[in-house]
Structure 1
Amino acid sequence: MTFLVHNETLTSVLKKIEKAGEKNILFAYQATDQYRVTANIQAKRQKEALEMVLQGKPFSFVEHNTYFAVQYTGKTTRVEQIKGRVVDEHQKPLPFANVVLISSVSKAYVAGCVTAEDGSFVLPYADKDAMLKVSFVGYKSQILACKPTMHIGLHPDTQQLKAVTIKSTRPNVVYKDGAFTTLVSGTILGELGSAEDMISQLPFVSGEAGSWEIIGRGAPEIYLNGRKLENLNELKRLSAKDILKAEIVTVPGAQYSSKTNAVIRLRAVRKRGQGLSGSLYSEYMQGRYSPHGYEDVQLNYRTGGLDIFGEVGAGLDRSHATAHSETQLHTTSDWEFNSRRTTNTLGGEILMNAGFNYEISEKQSLGMRYETTNMIGNNYTHSWGATDVWEDGKLTESMGVDLFSKSKPIGRIA
């Protein structure tokens, strides 16, 4: 590769090296954004270019089969490596298990990778306070103290696997055309309930539902059959069994926005049945003061290559929260600020969508989809409380607050 960079962010330069080379580069944006690079890279291989731009900067990297893992090392001059192997309860290797270094204090991402076919992994290690988090679908995650050499055995998660049939297999992951493709249908991933539950178990994915991150990349955009999902609640209503495969793209191409860090592409199983079909989804959760409910109905009519579909969903949330804080300030007098706040909220919405899809051939289709979301009734937030100010043990001020806001559905006359 050959190119010239002048006073560009390290993040930008690493992306250029990535696109010009054959391997992905996994790194934490928040660490690389603060460093700038000026370099003349002439006829260099990807690894050599990486060494050039990182020279003199507090970073190190480890090369894997399909990617480089870059870690911020800070002021330390000594960088070690953690080498290890992840196996199951029968001592068989677990390929594509997520292995992530996290801060023991903030639990923030430090560096990460996935295991190779033989279950092995290698990570640069400079932060002595970091912990190692290891996870794999169907197994209990572990957070461990770091050692130079580690042999990690994971044990089945009986809660996660209680509904999995013995015919289900481990997911197979293949790297092809710039994407890590994981087969979902017919594997353990397809038995995990909703597509939302399944995504959390994919290789290179960390975080909880709705706040996922790709290891070394940040928050991804999610696509279903080529359509970007603007409302991630769709994933709750989509069964994991209906997903054929999931693709993790860590180097998004020109078809995506320049601000897109990573992409998860889901491809649904093509349904061949004819006639009318439908599904009903119901969800209810009860806290002490905070119930949550959601109902959803989907209908689909299929004839030949034509699909006509419609959906109506409604949800209602009520929440109750209390907060109490005390602040002390010691100057010429001893001050104490005592605050109490209670907040109640009520919100509801109704979702409706309809459209059609026409399959011209196995690889060609066209369609249209219309979606709208509106409030149900009046949504409101009510917050009240007080702050007491004490000086040398004597109450000097007491301030109260009572706030109420209400939103009305558009087009409704109340």
Structure 2
Amino acid sequence: MKTLRKTLLLLCMLASSFGLSAQTISGKLVDEQNQPLPYANVVLLSLPDSAFVSGTISGEDGAFKLEGTLKKQIVRISSIGYNTVYKSTQSADIGIVQLQWNATQLGEVVVKGDLPKTRIKDDALVTTIQNSPLAHAGTANDVLGHVPGVIKNGESIEVLGKGSPIIYINGRQVRNASELDQLSSASIKDVEVITMPGAQYDASVNSVIRIKTVKPVGEGFGFNSRTVLGVAYYIYGLEELNFNYRKNGFDLFGMLEYDNNRDRQNNTMVQNTYSKSLINQATSSRRFNQSQLYAGKLGMNYMFDDRHSLGFIYDFSYRPTTTRNDSYTSLSVDELLENELTTADTTDMRNRQHLVSGYYNGSWGKWQLDVNADVLWNNQDKDQQVNEMATDTDNRIFSTDNQVDSRLYAAKAVVSRPLWNGKLSFGTEWSFIRRTDLYTSQESFINDSDTKLNEDNGAGFVELSQRFGKVTAMVGFRYEHMDSRYYEGGKKMEEQSRTYDNLFPSVMVSFPIRDVRMRVNYTRKITRPAFSQLNGNVQYINRYTYQSGNPYLQPSYRDYVSLLTNYRWLTVMLDYAHVSDYIMSVYTQYGDDPEVALLQKQNAKSYHELTGMVNIAPKFGKYHPVLMAGVRAQLFDMVFCGETVKLDNPIGIFRFNNAYNLPFDAWLNLDFSWRTKGNAENMYLEDTWQCDLGLYKSFNNDKWSVKLQCNDLFSTANSGMVLRSDIREITMKKVLDTRNFSVTVRYKFNTAKSKYKGTGAGDSQKSRM
């Protein structure tokens, strides 16, 4: 009987134990910017003795699950640099938990994590910058030139096969390239490259780069300064001051910058026109350019609590530029010299831009709302003075004036919440554009124009992501409506005015195969003509070459399919794109004279494009090499001089970056890049390569830093191309002062990065302006 009672008691205890352990406790962790917080420790403790029950770490999406009981237990959540949080288990789903940054924890802590430097995370390819050699690269611009899948071509940034990206810093869109130089590489936490943006982004956005900075340290007043002194052929310089004041939830920040730059460029162009006669135009020119930049911004942010914040920012820039172009052109018909031109062209341009942007970010329970509103005003006036001397025709001395005024009003709202094992997001975006373009010359051979463009855009989108075990899937739809009204001389032009209604789907599936992470995407994108490409101005280059916009341009569409894989330090990407109505540069006859060419944009027929990339980033002690090899090939043909010509020679892109940690914690960088010859659009590009050398050292706990840099050490980064169009073949070569030496000095005092969470609105329309 005693044995039976013991057996029954043991069975009851086991049944009770199984009943209690059958509960699954789940939740999601986010940081102060409501971004997923991965790799945090989540531990289930019993009460009142705080004994360990079970534990896990949060996933890359911040989500976690624990097996436990709902009675007399508590969840402890901790991560380096954050305040520890305790949550009751009265509900199996404890919802979204936001961890607050604790700067005091980092006084004596140096994080040496072994996370992979590049990994797939949902829709992005994430490269860790903090505590890596890239933290000593110099600026954000320097960092992006080393990120897998990103190509730095001079001062421009491109994503392989996707063109120029939209770039964000902590959720705020970058308005000009100087913002990337204003951000120190030591302040960057990671860089996310999105090669297939989903429904939340405008359908014209082919790629996105999101930069996240290291969490701010301390409160009170802080500032940092950057001074750059360099020489290419001319001496150039830059001075920049950033300041910030933070107290509790209040955040005031600003920036002032002055940049003075001069450069020169030598160009040669040979144009052959194969009509009834062979017309040859050979031009050599020397261009001198001088520009200044006066820029600044002032912003405020206030966090009411962990769930509600708002802020605004005012950003302005003024850039006066003077360009002088001296050229010599010879015209031959059937190899007989007919005319020679000597031209002196001086252009003065003044560009002013003002941006006011505001946001509100709030959450109620599981619901989150993000609202952004932007007002952008851009004004550009350009005066051109031309003095053209000819041997066999009349001389021309004249001037032109161009006034462009653009206004943008935009708003965007996004609502999101956790749903099942994922997230649901939906929202709307609106923009209104008013643009006027007045061009006058008072010359009979150049037409004056007075154009106006009014454009209204509306969009709605929905996006759902779900996790099924180790598989993540996301599907989204975006609907866009555009109403464009084009006016010439105050009269509406019906043929150039258009209305578009488009639906853009996107699908993403991410899954592991053992230790290999894989992602497959499909999306449809649109490229709308820039406003400067739609105007009817005919601008004078020389007596035989003119340039104009094309009001009849149609949007271009791309259907992308992408495969991305990542294994430790190896990343492989494959892309296929079907391109319709691509917008490309062509030379056609201007008027009735075959000797005069008009350069403008036109829509081309459909073609296919393939892109591939392999990125290898191993580590050998203090030596950190990174090798990226890419290829881009198009299946494109065109009619040239009555015959079909295939333009399908692939272009190879190679980058070999080398970082070495020297004694006294100095860093030496030696980078090599090479682009092979091949076809792009209707062009044949010559190969080009360059080698860069840099030395970085910080002092006094990183308060001071000095970087010595030599770009294009052997002065080889010149460009050459052959463009074919209709019956014209143009060969162009550019030689710039790409070799330059610079010294950059930074000083930081109690710096604290802004908490600004605005993401902006009307991003794609801003890029078109």
Give the TM-score normalised by structure 2: 0.29
2:229 corresponds, among 268, 284, 300, to 284
- For 1:402 and 1:277, the matched residues in 2 are separated by 49
- For 2:310 and 2:344, the matched residues in 1 are separated by 53
CA-to-aligned-CA distance 1:151-181 (integer Å, 9 cap, x gap): xxxxxxxxxxxxxx99797853343332233
- For 1:172 and 1:236, the matched residues in 2 are separated by 22
1:226 corresponds, among 141, 162, 171, to 171
Name the aligned partner's letter for residue 300 of structure 1. Answer: N
* Identity level (%): 26
CA-to-aligned-CA distance 1:53-100 (integer Å, 9 cap, x gap): xxxxxxxxxxxxxxxxxxxxxxxxxxxxxxxxxxxxxxxxxxxxxxxx
- For 1:330 and 1:260, the matched residues in 2 are separated by 39
Name the aligned partner's letter for residue 344 of structure 2. Answer: D
Alpha carbons of structure 1 residues 209 and 237: separation in structure 2 relative to 1, 3 Å = farther
| Other-structure match for 1:235 | 180
Tell me how far 1:334 sits from its aligned partner.
9.7
What pairs up with 1:11-410 in 2 under 5 angstroms? 171-208=116-153, 210-288=155-233, 290-324=234-268, 338-361=282-305, 365-375=309-319, 379-389=321-331, 396-407=338-349
Structure number with higher relative contact order (C-alpha < 8 Å, ≥ 6 residues apart): 2
- For 2:307 and 2:121, the matched residues in 1 are separated by 18
Is 1:357–1:368's contact at 8 Å kept on the other side of the alignment? yes
Alpha carbons of structure 1 residues 374 and 275: separation in structure 2 relative to 1, 3 Å = same
- For 2:119 and 2:335, the matched residues in 1 are separated by 68
- For 1:169 and 1:285, the matched residues in 2 are separated by 37
Is 1:200–1:209's contact at 8 Å kept on the other side of the alignment? no
- For 1:225 and 1:333, the matched residues in 2 are separated by 59
- For 1:338 and 1:217, the matched residues in 2 are separated by 34
Alpha carbons of structure 1 residues 337 and 170: separation in structure 2 relative to 1, 3 Å = same
Is 2:250–2:301's contact at 8 Å kept on the other side of the alignment? yes
- For 1:169 and 1:193, the matched residues in 2 are separated by 23
Tell me how far 1:333 sits from its aligned partner.
10
- For 2:280 and 2:336, the matched residues in 1 are separated by 10
Alpha carbons of structure 1 residues 225 and 364: separation in structure 2 relative to 1, 3 Å = farther
Is 2:230–2:237's contact at 8 Å kept on the other side of the alignment? yes
Is 1:170–1:187's contact at 8 Å kept on the other side of the alignment? no
- For 2:269 and 2:162, the matched residues in 1 are separated by 36
Tell me how far 1:185 sits from its aligned partner.
1.6
- For 1:280 and 1:256, the matched residues in 2 are separated by 34
- For 1:178 and 1:409, the matched residues in 2 are separated by 36
Alpha carbons of structure 1 residues 213 and 375: separation in structure 2 relative to 1, 3 Å = closer
Name the aligned partner's letter for residue 179 of structure 2. Answer: E
| Other-structure match for 2:94 | none
- For 1:317 and 1:406, the matched residues in 2 are separated by 15
Is 2:318–2:350's contact at 8 Å kept on the other side of the alignment? no
Name the aligned partner's letter for residue 369 of structure 1. Answer: I
Is 1:171–1:189's contact at 8 Å kept on the other side of the alignment? no
Is 1:294–1:315's contact at 8 Å kept on the other side of the alignment? yes
Is 1:171–1:187's contact at 8 Å kept on the other side of the alignment? no
SS at match of 2:180: helix
- For 1:225 and 1:202, the matched residues in 2 are separated by 18
- For 2:150 and 2:351, the matched residues in 1 are separated by 37
Name the aligned partner's letter for residue 397 of structure 1. Answer: N
- For 1:176 and 1:393, the matched residues in 2 are separated by 61
SS at match of 1:196: helix
SS at match of 1:197: helix
- For 2:337 and 2:214, the matched residues in 1 are separated by 67
More strand per residue: 1 or 2? 2
- For 2:123 and 2:111, the matched residues in 1 are separated by 32
Name the aligned partner's letter for residue 250 of structure 1. Answer: T
Name the aligned partner's letter for residue 181 of structure 2. Answer: K
Is 1:284–1:294's contact at 8 Å kept on the other side of the alignment? yes
Name the aligned partner's letter for residue 265 of structure 2. Answer: A
Tell me how far 1:215 sits from its aligned partner.
4.0
- For 1:256 and 1:393, the matched residues in 2 are separated by 54
Is 1:169–1:186's contact at 8 Å kept on the other side of the alignment? no
Tell me how far 1:396 sits from its aligned partner.
4.9
Name the aligned partner's letter for residue 180 of structure 2. Answer: L
Alpha carbons of structure 1 residues 307 and 404: separation in structure 2 relative to 1, 3 Å = same
Name the aligned partner's letter for residue 302 of structure 2. Answer: Y
SS at match of 2:347: strand
Alpha carbons of structure 1 residues 389 and 216: separation in structure 2 relative to 1, 3 Å = closer
| Other-structure match for 1:135 | none
SS at match of 2:167: strand
CA-to-aligned-CA distance 1:273-307 (integer Å, 9 cap, x gap): 1121111112233122x333221111111112222
CA-to-aligned-CA distance 1:108-155 (integer Å, 9 cap, x gap): xxxxxxxxxxxxxxxxxxxxxxxxxxxxxxxxxxxxxxxxxxxxxxxx
Is 2:111–2:131's contact at 8 Å kept on the other side of the alignment? no
Is 1:305–1:358's contact at 8 Å kept on the other side of the alignment? yes
Instruction: Provide structure 1 residue ranges, at least 5 long, that are not aligned to the other structure.
Output: 1-164
Tell me how far 1:331 sits from its aligned partner.
11
CA-to-aligned-CA distance 1:343-397 (integer Å, 9 cap, x gap): 2222112001001122445675432110001135xx3222223334568998653
- For 1:328 and 1:216, the matched residues in 2 are separated by 31
| Other-structure match for 1:52 | none
> Rg larger in 1 or in 2?
2
Is 1:171–1:184's contact at 8 Å kept on the other side of the alignment? no
Tell me how far 1:335 sits from its aligned partner.
8.2
| Other-structure match for 1:143 | none
Tell me how far 1:241 sits from its aligned partner.
1.7
Name the aligned partner's letter for residue 142 of structure 2. Answer: D
Q: CA RMSD in A?
A: 3.5
SS at match of 1:212: strand
Alpha carbons of structure 1 residues 391 and 210: separation in structure 2 relative to 1, 3 Å = closer
Name the aligned partner's letter for residue 208 of structure 2. Answer: V
Give the TM-score normalised by structure 1: 0.51
Alpha carbons of structure 1 residues 361 and 323: separation in structure 2 relative to 1, 3 Å = same
Alpha carbons of structure 1 residues 360 and 321: separation in structure 2 relative to 1, 3 Å = same
